[in-house]
Amino acid sequence: MFARAGMGRAPCAGAQMTDPASDILLACFIFVGAALYSSVGHGGASAYLAIMALFGVAAPVMRPTALVLNIIVSALGSFRYVSQGMFRWRVLWPFLVSAVPMAFIGGTIHLPGDVYKPLVGVVLWLSALRIFWPVELKGVMTASDPPIAGGLLIGGAIGLLSGLTGTGGGIFLSPLLLLMAWSVPKQASGVAAVFILVNSAAGLAGNYASVQSLPASLPLLAGAAVAGAVAGTTLGIQLPAKAITRVLGVVLVIAGAKLIGLY
């Protein structure tokens, strides 16, 4: 399966030992995370990081695995949401133009475990805050396009953070779009999905060597992520996903605490 935390540098996928029972259990969690996150246009990287943290996965394995799964889920989400008209290019591009190069730069930076883990822990806590955000945040009925200069600055910051941590950045972009009334909820899902897809690809390209740490069980996890994304995007298109995602917030809080070293 995965290289465990504290066992040194992760070997390449082909050299890793596998544990079928653990792989199946992990795949089940990945399915749930993909379904919940894709229902609101997200790729689920923060959920995958939380799940892998709870399973004791080594830091060098976490980032590339989360990014690959993020790309798979957000690609399907982008296709489904855009084809349903739940997307607006003018909302996306100011953030994307600056986020992509910064995500690439962030991906090239190799942080030691004692820095990477607390950083990801904070990201997970912020993700939990997003999930526990009042439902009224999603009640935006009208919106105006974001300012270009502000979008460029914000996009660059989100891109760098996503590249460093192995997330797509949508967990930060979506609430901002709604809070600032730059997008209505349905369009925000499509904008977030495309943003995450491109950002995750840039982050992985910036740290391409990390793909050597991908686990042998990746096909199983990818299949679970695809199945979850199909279920989640169907829910996102047909019904607004709200309260159920709060369950995942508890997991993010616990995993964030573990990474930061609170227990």
Q: Do residues 173 and 150 touch, judged by C-beta distance below 8 A?
A: no
Q: Do residues 135 and 75 touch, judged by C-beta distance below 8 A?
A: no
pLDDT at 174 (0 to 100): 83
Count of Cβ atoms closer than 10 Å to residue 11 Cβ: 15
Q: 91-95, 158-162, 252-256 — which one is most confidently predicted on average?
A: 91-95
In this model, does residue 250 exceed pLDDT 80?
no
In this model, does residue 70 exceed pLDDT 70?
yes
Residue range 188-215, pLDDT digits in tens: 889 999 999 999 999 899 888 888 889 9
Supply the pTM of this predicted model.
0.83
Residue range 10-40, pLDDT digits in tens: 344 443 445 788 889 999 999 999 998 898 8
Q: Do residues 39 and 241 touch, judged by C-beta distance below 8 A?
A: yes
Residues 224, 225, 228, 230: is their CA dihedral positive or negative?
Answer: negative
Domain borders along the chain are: 18-260
pLDDT at 140 (0 to 100): 53
Residue range 141-186, pLDDT digits in tens: 678 899 999 999 999 999 998 888 888 888 889 888 877 889 887 8
pLDDT at 90 (0 to 100): 96
Bigger pLDDT: 59 vs 245: 59
Query: What average pLDDT is seen over the chain?
Result: 83
Bigger pLDDT: 154 vs 47: 154
DSSP string over 129-196: HHHTS-GGGGG-----PPPHHHHHHHHHHHHHHHHHHT--SHHHHHHHHHHTTSS-HHHHHHHHHHHH
What's the mean pLDDT in 44-64?
A: 88
Count of Cβ atoms closer than 10 Å to residue 203 Cβ: 36
What's the mean pLDDT in 56-72?
A: 90
pLDDT at 116 (0 to 100): 81
What percentage of residues in the chain have a pLDDT greater than 70? 85
* Cα angle for residues 162, 176, 247 (degrees, 5° grid): 75
Residues 241, 243, 248, 252: what is their CA dihedral angle, to the nearest 10 degrees? 110
pLDDT at 15 (0 to 100): 38
Per DSSP, the three-state class of 4 is strand
In this model, does residue 135 exceed pLDDT 80?
no
pLDDT at 239 (0 to 100): 65
Per DSSP, the three-state class of 57 is strand
